[in-house]
Structure 1
Amino acid sequence: MEHGGGHGGGHGGMEMDLPPFTLSRGLEFGGDTFFLISCAVGLALYGWAVYRLRSRGDEWPIGRTISYTLGVLSVALVMCTKLNDYGMVMFSVHMVQHMVISMLSPILILLGAPVTLTLRALPAAGRGRRGPREVLVSVLHSRYMRVITHPAFTIPMFIASLYALYFTPLFDTLMETKVGHIGMMVHFLAVGLVFFWPIMGVDPGPHRPGYVMRMLELFAGMPFHAFFGIALMMASEPMVGTYKNPPSSLGIDALSDQNTAGGIAWAFSEIPTVAVLIALVYQWYRSEQRQAKRKDRTADRDGDRELAAYNAYLASLQTRGR
């Protein structure tokens, strides 16, 4: 399980001189330019779309805007601060980054309904023409989208992102270059988004099962997540080459840092699960309420024709019985 020694070539120098980790040092501004620009663009586009809706007199729930903003800021928190530098040499800090970006950020971003907002903000191109809105609709209905949001794809991908990455030389290879590290973090975010989208996303999607099935999908992936955390906590030696020889300036022991990383992974399989479960139950309740209101409105319009027909049917059965 031990792959390579020490830290890869692409990140030498700066990280080696890091002082011992404290939360205040970790939260200093710094980190990755790619994620900084991406987060700024993501927030600006969402803000523009909300402004566009409001300026034409349409409403957009403030709760969705808050949720999306918090989701993007949570990505910025772990990728655009010194946490990113510490994450290159400390397994525990890297695990915080991984768990936030794959479990917390996707849930908050999805509750912000960015796809629905985009569809409402973009103008229709007109008959026979294809604009950005039409392209987005065709992507949403594509076979590709049906495949990548199906539980037969999302659950194995969610599990493989842990085991196939950390327990093979792949992780060390990716950590050797800046591009590899960024690619890995983008992958974590994407996997989180496609895993949670069919389960509790507000946006329309090709795969949207009933609420009971969604709960089963949620629980299908989580035991593997918890077991991964326990495997790291129980290990008697460092399992990932990148974090085998931490810089002496940090004053940490590789094995105890790995145990901490395992504890973080285990805790994160529990906390978001509970949060998603609460969101799901609430969505289910709201859906039932809407259906009940719809039925009441239909009954008011047609003078409860359905009930009258049912009573007539019962009466006919009674007559036939006689």
Structure 2
Amino acid sequence: MTPLLTTTVLAWMPPADQPPLTLSRMLTAWTFDPFMVLPVLLAGGLYLAGVRMLHRRGDQWPVLRTVYWFAGLLLVFVATSSALGVYDRTLFVVPAIQHMLLQMIAPVGLAMGAPISLAMRTFPVAWRRVVLAVVHSGPVRFIGHPAIAFAFFAITQFAFYYSPLYELSLRNVWLHDLSHVHFVLVGFLFFWALLGVDPVPHRPPFFLRFMLVLGLAPMHILLGIPIMLMNAVLAEDFYLEVGRDWGPTLLDDQAVGGGVLWGFGDVSSAALIGAFVVQWYRSDEREARRTDRQLDRLHGSSPTTPPWWLEPEHEGSATPVTPKGES
């Protein structure tokens, strides 16, 4: 099998010189790259097999976890196989949208799906030990710390756009696909470490995790605004070779893409911040209820505890008050 045929069978990219992007094309243009589609199908099939195994032995698995997992997989599929996958080498704004879906949105659902917890409940005992050994190994403990995962998350975005990697990914099918896989994996690592739904090597304070979420907004400002204001076109040689003669100019297209990187990231960050505030509020409520139960166990079910000056050892120290009219 020749290298060209091998590439065509395992992975491919649609031509970059696509026709004008109309509403009809948005709905009907699809591409099915085996390198991207097959892992999504495999991940979905293995997850369903695990859930089915639990149900067969009478155990329950939260339906919402399954919904999260398949929502994440669906977003990966749409980002790489719909019109976004067809036009991601034609317009700069399209890979910008792809990037946000693959690294910012889809990994949240995948992390909330708790795949490692599902594996721990379905694997044989020997395999569970292997999974735990990997989770708590030195390399995973390093990259699995939320601060380190955040660093990888941020560096990935800047390195991709502000280096030759972006143009190379437009020209080479393997770099093109591997960049998509990398976005998903780096995003999953960050949200897996941050949310802590699965077994993780670190459980940092809530405040640290909240500050990392807060740091997503300025990171996307630093990423998107400079691209919006650039006078030079990223991967200009490639786009000139494509010779697109419809739609926005190269600079206008790039400015819109930079705005997507900025605005999309900020909206996603705001949603995550809101979710963390709710989680913080609920954790405070749970702590308050836990404290109330502890007090009830110590002092009974009375609504209040007598103040210190009414306790027996202080009864004699209070100054008696003589009612009016009595001597």
TM over 0.5: yes
Query: Which protein shows a greater Rg?
Result: 2
- 1:55 CA displacement: 2.0
Q: Which residue pairs with 1:5 in the alignment?
A: none
Match of 1:146 among 130, 141, 150: 141
Aligned length: 306
- For the Cα contact (< 8 Å) 1:146–1:206, is it kept in 2? yes
1:152 deviates by 4.0
Q: Which residue of 2 aligns with 1:95?
A: 96
Deviation, 1:301, is 6.7
CA distance in 2, matches of 1:74, 1:303: 53
Q: State the 1:220 CA deviation.
A: 2.2
1 CA distance for matches of 2:290 and 2:56? 30
Over 3 Å counting, the alpha-carbon distance change for 1:317 and 1:301 in structure 2 is: closer
Secondary structure of 2:15's partner?
helix
CA 1:114–1:292: 2 relative to 1, 3 Å: farther
For 2:161, which of 156, 166, 182 is the aligned residue?
Answer: 166
**Most deviating of 291-300 and 78-87:** 291-300
Of residues 264, 275, 278 in structure 2, which corresponds to 1:279? 275
Letter in 1 for 2:169: L
CA distance in 2 between counterparts of 1:13 and 1:291 reads 53
Q: Where does residue 59 of structure 1 map in the other structure?
A: 60
Q: Cα–Cα, structure 1 residues 204 and 254, in superposed 2: closer, same or farther, change >3 Å?
A: same
Distance in structure 1 (CA, Å) of the matches to 2:104 and 2:150: 13
**Amino acid across the alignment from 1:199:** L
Amino acid at match of 1:54: H
Partner of residue 6, structure 1: none
C-alpha distance after superposition, 1:102-146 (max 9, x if no partner): 0000111112222212211223x3xxxxx3221111111112111
Shift of 1:246: 6.6
Instruction: Evaluate the alpha carbon distance shift between residue 316 and residue 138 of structure 1 in structure 2; reply closer, same or farther with a 3 A threshold.
Output: farther
Find the aligned partners of 1:311 and 1:231 in 2 and give their Cα distance.
Answer: 62
**Partners in 1 of 2:59 and 2:287 — Cα distance?**
23
1:1-322 to 2 correspondence within 5 Å? 15-27=15-27, 28-123=29-124, 125=125, 131-241=126-236, 244-245=239-240, 247-249=242-244, 251-252=246-247, 253-291=249-287
CA contact (8 A) 1:230 1:266 kept: yes
Q: Please report how far the alpha carbon of residue 22 of structure 1 lies from its aligned counterpart in structure 2 after TM superposition.
A: 2.9
Q: How far is 1:61 from its partner?
A: 1.8
For the structure 1 residues 315 and 270, does the alpha-carbon distance in structure 2 shift closer, same or farther, using more than 3 Å as the test? same
Task: Give 1:243 deviation, angstroms.
Answer: 5.3
- Residues 206-258 of structure 1, C-alpha deviation per residue, up to 9 Å, x if partnerless? 12222221110112243121221111111122133365427345513111110
TM-score normalised to the size of structure 1? 0.82
Letter in 2 for 1:267: G
The answer to whether the 8 A contact 2:229-2:255 is kept is: yes
- Cα distance in 2 for partners of 1:222, 1:89 equals 28
Q: Kindly provide the CA deviation profile for residues 184-206 of structure 1, in whole angstroms up to 9, marking residues without a partner as x.
A: 11111111112222222411211
The alpha-carbon deviation at position 150 of structure 1 amounts to: 2.0
Alignment check: 8 A CA contact 1:228 1:266 kept = yes
Q: Relative contact order: is structure 1 or structure 2 higher (C-alpha 8 Å, sep ≥ 6)?
A: 1
Contact 1:89 1:246 in 2 (8 A): no
Structure 2 segments unaligned to the other structure (5+ residues): 1-7, 319-327
Counterpart of 2:15, as a letter, is: E
Q: Is the 8 A contact 2:47 2:115 kept in 1?
A: yes
**Does structure 1 conserve the Cα–Cα contact (< 8 Å) formed by 2:94 and 2:257?**
yes
Closer/same/farther in 2, CA of residues 239 and 267 from structure 1, 3 Å limit: same
Q: What percent identity do the matched residue pairs reach?
A: 33
Tell me: CA distance 1:191–1:87, structure 2 relative to 1, closer, same or farther (3 Å).
Answer: same
Query: Runs (4+) of structure 1 moved beyond 4 Å?
Result: 10-14, 288-305, 309-312, 314-319
Other structure's SS at 1:237 match: coil
Query: Which letter does structure 2 place at the counterpart of 1:173?
Result: L
Distance 2:131 2:155 in 1: 29
